[in-house]
Amino acid sequence: MNNIFFFEAFEEERKALISFGAEDLKADFSWKTIQEADFSQPPAPIISVRTQSAIPVEWAPKLKAILTRSTGFDHLTRYRIAANCPDLPCGYLPLYCNRTVAEQALTLWMALARKLPTQIKQFKTFHRDGLTGTEIKHKNLLVIGVGRIGTEIVKIGRGLGMEVQGIDPIRRLDDLEYVSYEEGAPWADIIAVSMSLNPENHGYFTRERLSLVKPGALLVNVARGEFTPLENIVFAMKAGLLGGVGLDVYDSETALGPQLRSHSTHSRPDDSPLAYLLNADNAILTPHNAFNTHEAVLRKSQQSVQQTRHFLDTGTFIWNIDE
């Protein structure tokens, strides 16, 4: 029997895991989520997932450990509660993609500011009507969640000559001005979301909060989809509150990802918020891919093998979700 099974391991990641010795650990792989793979029992005593797999609660007594190959681990915290297994060892990877995810946030807000989707569409006619964008220098950037990823976003914003403020209950940066949402939202030209998910901030962008933003502001979420319910985002766009939105994450990804991969039409009916965003020129949707650079995939794979080897040797992870 294998020691560990890696779910959600796309081709580049699988090759990187093997290159760092995953096969020596008696590992097997699938690009599928758990629900797509349709195993009736755990395929190994240790399983590794990302964020889209729905782990059956009945697997908990049969598992020795779970490793998430992600910086966030809220899904494993919820799983341990649902399965009533508070002592199940769970590990995560806090260090591999901080700059990578921050650069995705930059990519999204720059593309929105310069109306890149419309530019690409209008190349066929070479018309420039409606393509006038905006410069980023001197614009106001509000970073919600100034942890490892948020700190990198702050650095990027300052490097572009932007004015930067942050929202975070823990003030890690001495030279950053921290504000409340009520202070920052009317000030910000761009809002970048990079906070960790917890029960208190689930559904963070309510219609009331969105009504406070500067009209025409750009909103970018590279953290968790639960912060930006799509129906609220569409409301804000139709009301002219948001000038554009860039999303890499979505609520209910455990259902959405498999549905889109299977080309299921009921996942996006014509009148759904998702359908609206897919057809909006001022919305950019990416498939939870902010982590995915060559450099980050190598770091993630190396650290995943390191975490697994450490657990097999010691019975604990280097980075545990309880620490």
Domain boundaries, the chain: 4-96+294-314, 98-285
CATH 3.40.50.720 fits 98-285, yes or no: yes
Phi, psi of 300 (to 5 degrees): -60, -45
| Nearest Cα to Cα of residue 214 among 183, 189, 233 | 189
The pTM is what?
0.93
Tokens of 272: 């759904």
Tokens of 82: 């649902």
d(CA 250, CA 257): 9
CB atoms inside a 10 Å sphere around CB 87: 7
Q: Residue 238: how many CA atoms within 13 Å on its side-chain side?
A: 11
Chain-centre distance for alpha carbon 114: 23
Q: Quick one: residue 166, left, alpha or beta (phi over 0 = left, psi -120 to 50 = alpha)?
A: beta
Tokens of 230: 């799509």
pLDDT tens string 228-279: 999 999 999 999 999 999 999 999 899 999 889 887 655 555 679 999 999 9
In tens digits, what is the pLDDT along the chain, a chain of 323 residues? Answer: 799 999 999 999 999 999 999 999 999 999 999 999 989 999 999 999 999 999 999 999 999 999 999 999 999 999 999 999 999 999 999 999 999 999 999 999 999 999 999 999 999 999 999 999 999 999 999 999 999 999 999 999 999 999 999 999 999 999 999 999 999 999 999 999 999 999 999 999 999 999 999 999 999 999 999 999 999 999 999 999 999 999 999 998 999 998 898 876 555 556 799 999 999 999 999 999 999 999 999 999 999 999 999 999 999 999 999 86
Residues 6+ apart with CB under 8 A from 298: 16
Q: Which residue has the tokens 């000038």?
A: 243
pLDDT at 265: 54
d(CA 267, CA 86): 33
| Nearest Cα to Cα of residue 92 among 255, 242, 308, 312 | 308
pLDDT at 280: 96
What is the signed CA dihedral for 205, 77, 38, 312, rounded to 10 degrees? 140
Q: Which residue has the tokens 């395929």?
A: 43
The helix (H) or strand (E) run that includes residue 238 is helix 230-238
pLDDT at 286: 97
CATH topology for the 4-96+294-314 domain = Rossmann fold (3.40.50)
Same CATH fold assignment for domains 4-96+294-314 and 98-285: yes
